[in-house]
């Protein structure tokens, strides 16, 4: 009798909690290589718990329950399941407690058919053939003012007069300006994070997730995200999603109700990361320094995930796979790459590339020095840790470009630093997969870095769109948007014309000043030219040692040769082109891409101060 009573009490508990549980991943697919998944079952009602030694049964032989884990937090279950290789799309009933299935104690779990076009219409990868445009959704364009404020969300600070408050930009705003982006020559878009950030303040930037499986409703939610990606794919555009594995926001549901005691990196008192990437490869580093770098929190509002906890690791990897399949994205940009557990990152990268071989993965490596940066990517070193990450955000090339534009020519200074940085490409397995850029959401706008010097700015654009790697552009750079990253909000201002009632609209020629239109047209000309320039997209690079501030390099293949000459000096320079004879074979002249001017080869050129010529060589 006692056992029977306990059974009915357990059954009543199941009926009570069945209405408030959530399952992650929310669904899966048939025909996936990754067919062994781990479900997280979370009881959101804090007054309810799962009975001890709870059994779980599946209604389908295609969905085999392998093991049920019950962590110390009784509001969670972890269920290991295996999906049959021959499984068909279906809804599986998971019965909690081993009783007969009913609405009160059953979870419906869907196995969906996979989307078509893997590697061709999604998961295509973003490569050196592309021109990638980075958008902070909250600051680009407001296409749907109805979602500016959502009832029940914690951040009610909404004002375009503040650099820290939400401004109302959304995914519909991006959709509304796809024509503009294609006119500019864009072929791929990278969005700063779009996942739910239900944080009480400064939630606009998106880097403190509170729910991995929900697109922020203030951006338009899942519906708007799918609509955007579908429209992009129809146009031949690609989507890159911003991944954050290292941390989440303090309001995340699994932070507020942690499944295990070691779900986060815990310290006796708050401990920040040191941001010192060197200790990860320093042969003389102390263990304590290594631990602080890897396990310290990025900032107090972003708890650090313990990726050595297998449940955490599985959750993050499955979410990455789920996202590619659910939304059809083409690539991952990985935030704060060096702060993650690096063995976990190798495992995550492998899972993604095994399932989606053409997918692009590139990680943020805000470090100093080519050895530092190359440690986190496929490299040619014979060392204990070998990263399998295909590409990185090439901060070293950026530092070289900054020196070229802001420092006088010297043995290691000025444009010599840019030359030297690229001369060290021998350390990378494939430097063409590195992402090159002038600025982003964390850095001072490059137009401000060069003191709003139009000649230097155009020279920098010319380098970006002709050098090796994947060129990344930050929204508004094409109209010379300004701002210094101190504080960072000044580099995240609204794109003029993106909001109803804006006094000017920079999305159209009539709204741009002559200088802004000059920058736009210069960028547009080069970005669209490179679409059909095989030498720039996939060709080889040959560079010549800079002389007196003049840097010359060639991009070439069997079909085309493009010559780039940059004069970073403050005065006109005479360039004797006989020095470049080894690349002139079969050519007699060159056509400057942006002006159409013809330059004869094998002669002396007068190159204007702060000038750049980009020449397609001709017979």
Q: Which residue, chain included where needed, has tokens 């085999």?
A: 64
Q: Which residue, chain included where needed, has tokens 């397609």?
A: 616
Other C-beta atoms closer than 10 Å to the C-beta of 471 total 25
How far lies 323's CA from each of 194, 308, 332, in Å? 12, 22, 10
CA 146 vs. chain centroid, Å, equals 28
Q: Which residue, chain included where needed, has tokens 């708050």?
A: 270
Phi-psi sector, 117: left (phi>0), alpha (psi -120 to 50), beta: left
| The token pair that represents 462 in the structure block | 């010319």
Instruction: Say how far apart CA 63 and CA 36 lie, in whole Å.
Output: 10
Cβ-in-10-Å burial (0-12, 13-18, 19+) of 267 comes to: middle
Instruction: Say how far apart CA 183 and CA 517 lie, in whole Å.
Output: 13
Instruction: Say how far apart CA 569 and CA 549 lie, in whole Å.
Output: 5
Nearest residue to 548 via CA among 424, 371, 455, 409: 409
- Cβ atoms 527, 465 nearer than 8 A: yes
Q: Which residue, chain included where needed, has tokens 């101190």?
A: 486
Q: Three-class SS of residue 421?
A: helix
Q: What are phi and psi of 288, to 5 degrees?
A: -65, -40
Q: Which residues are catalytic?
A: 335, 364
Q: Which residues contact 455 (CB under 8 A, 6 or more apart)?
A: 608, 609, 610, 611
Question: b/e for 72-95, b at 16 or more Cβ within 10 A?
Answer: ebebbbbbebebeeebeeeebbbb
């Amino acid at each position: 009798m006692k056992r029977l009573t306990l059974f009915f009490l357990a059954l009543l508990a199941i009926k009570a909690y069945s209405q408030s549980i959530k399952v992650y991943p929310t669904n899966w697919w048939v025909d996936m290589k990754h067919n062994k998944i781990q479900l997280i079952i979370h009881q959101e009602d804090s007054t309810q718990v799962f009975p001890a030694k709870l059994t779980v049964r599946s209604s389908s032989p295609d969905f085999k329950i392998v093991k049920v884990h019950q962590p110390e937090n009784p509001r969670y279950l972890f269920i290991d399941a295996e999906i049959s290789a021959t499984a068909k799309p279906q809804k599986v009933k998971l019965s909690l407690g081993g009783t007969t299935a009913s609405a009160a104690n059953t979870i419906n779990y869907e196995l969906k058919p996979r989307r078509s076009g893997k590697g061709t219409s999604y998961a295509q990868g973003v490569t050196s053939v592309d021109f990638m445009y980075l958008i902070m959704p909250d600051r680009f364009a407001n296409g749907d003012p109805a979602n500016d404020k959502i009832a029940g969300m914690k951040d009610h600070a909404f004002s375009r007069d503040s650099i820290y408050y939400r401004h109302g930009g959304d995914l519909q705003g991006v959709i509304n300006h796809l024509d503009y982006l294609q006119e500019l020559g864009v072929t791929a878009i990278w969005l700063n994070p779009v996942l739910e950030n239900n944080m009480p303040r400064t939630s606009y930037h998106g880097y403190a997730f509170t729910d991995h499986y929900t697109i922020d409703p203030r951006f338009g939610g899942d519906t708007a995200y799918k609509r955007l990606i579908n429209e992009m794919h129809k146009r031949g555009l690609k989507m890159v999603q911003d991944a954050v594995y290292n941390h989440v926001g303090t309001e995340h549901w699994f932070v507020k109700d942690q499944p295990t005691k070691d779900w986060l990196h815990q310290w006796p008192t708050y401990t920040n990361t040191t941001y010192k990437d060197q200790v990860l490869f320093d042969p003389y580093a102390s263990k304590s320094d290594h631990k602080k770098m890897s396990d310290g929190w990025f900032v107090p509002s972003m708890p650090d995930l313990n990726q050595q906890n297998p449940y955490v690791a599985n959750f993050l990897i499955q979410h990455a796979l789920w996202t590619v399949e659910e939304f059809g994205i083409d690539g991952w940009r990985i935030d704060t790459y060096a702060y993650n557990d690096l063995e976990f990152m190798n495992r995550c990268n492998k899972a993604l590339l095994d399932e989606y071989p053409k997918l692009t993965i590139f990680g943020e490596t805000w470090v100093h020095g080519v050895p530092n940066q190359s440690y986190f990517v496929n490299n040619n070193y014979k060392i204990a840790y070998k990263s399998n990450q295909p590409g990185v955000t090439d901060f070293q090339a950026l530092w070289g470009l900054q020196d070229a534009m802001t420092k006088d020519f010297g043995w290691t200074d000025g444009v010599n630093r840019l030359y030297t940085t690229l001369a060290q490409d021998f350390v990378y397995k494939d430097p063409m997969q590195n992402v090159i850029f002038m600025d982003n959401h964390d850095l001072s706008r490059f137009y401000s870095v060069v003191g709003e010097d139009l000649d230097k700015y155009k020279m920098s654009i010319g380098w970006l769109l002709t050098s090796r790697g994947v060129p990344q552009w930050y929204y508004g750079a094409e109209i010379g948007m300004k701002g210094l990253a101190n504080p960072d909000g000044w580099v995240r201002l609204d794109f003029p014309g993106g909001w109803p009632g804006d006094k000017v609209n920079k999305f159209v020629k009539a709204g741009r000043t002559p200088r802004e239109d000059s920058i736009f047209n210069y960028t547009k000309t080069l970005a669209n030219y490179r679409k059909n320039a095989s030498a720039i997209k996939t060709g080889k690079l040959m560079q010549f040692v800079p002389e007196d501030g003049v840097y010359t390099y060639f991009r070439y293949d069997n079909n085309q040769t493009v010559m780039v000459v940059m004069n970073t000096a403050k005065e006109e320079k005479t360039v004797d082109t006989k020095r470049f004879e080894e690349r002139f074979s079969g050519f007699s002249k060159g056509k400057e891409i942006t002006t159409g001017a013809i330059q004869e080869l094998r002669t002396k050129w007068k190159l204007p101060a702060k000038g750049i010529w980009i020449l397609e060589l001709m017979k």
